Structure 1
Amino acid sequence: MTTFGSLTRAAALAGLLFSAIAGVTPAVAAPADVALLQSYIGEWRGRGVLYGASEETVVCRLTLTQGNQDKVNYNGRCALAGTNLSVAGTLAYVEANRRFEAAMTSNATFTGIAVGQKRGSGLIFNLRERDQDEEGKDLNIAAQIQLNPEDIHVTFEVVYVESGDSLRAEVPFSR
């Protein structure tokens, strides 16, 4: 079984926060799309579980603020077993691509762009990436964030390609 080091856990937390929200190119969005993004502005808190070789509690906070033009900026932090992870990014509706996009940078060298789509009265962002851990082992990373009117639910999974070992986090957020 692969042991998950602090950098792998930090990458998992980065994905978790990213999948909890995600620079994006300038956008011109329809008023309803802008209003939907802006409806998430505020303070969010989450507590969930990271499943791997063992279970660990994850505690997160996320702040969304008005950005330039029609964008929403976010900053987040998660704590897990003495490891802190911070992420920052922007959400926007990118008219040129005709879709919602979330971009993120983190202190764990994890970066990415997720594509979002309307689902009911909320948004769902999905991210799929391939990366390597600190030992050069290939990882498949998948994240999903469901932004609902009253809550945000994040699911994140890292799978080691060679061994099949995995690390999965699920964190519900509320205001």
Structure 2
Amino acid sequence: MTSADPVPEVHPAPAAPTIASSGGSMLSDEGSTTGIDAEVLKRTLHRYLQKHRAALVAKLDGLAERQARWPVTPTGTNVLGLVKHVAGVQAMYFGEVFGRPLPDPPAWLESEDGDDMYATLDETLDDVVAFHHRSAAHADATIEALDLDARGVVPWWPEDRRRVTLHRILVHMG
């Protein structure tokens, strides 16, 4: 691509329900552990989750505050906002879903206005990373405390799919 080439058009995603818009809840067999050593599977899924978390936070390494907040998509999403969003999502999935809410959660965690997608001016890069680590530690404690077949409820998923297991949430989040 040269500077003379036209910039490709960006089109919004279709409005029809998709796996992503349903929170992945459309994957109905996502929680099956038949015939598998549950502890080995749990450790493996947990390790993958930890690996993906570390890779995401590493995207902030070496970035100045302004670079971390720089919009990189047509919607204005930035790396710092993605880290904040993932931290909030893991706090909800490994906290609220299993009746283990994150102690002293930030007010924006319950917001439905997209407040989790962007760091506010009073939230620094260090603040967001610290919250990510806190929510990860809380998620890890939930994973360690529960068996793969532990039951939870995802209230924001459709009624017929909201009853889940820890296994299903580990797959969903990994």
**TM-score (norm. length: structure 1):** 0.26
**TM-score (norm. length: structure 2):** 0.26
The structure with higher relative contact order (CA 8 Å, sep 6+) is 2
Structure with more helix by fraction: 2
Structure with more strand by fraction: 1
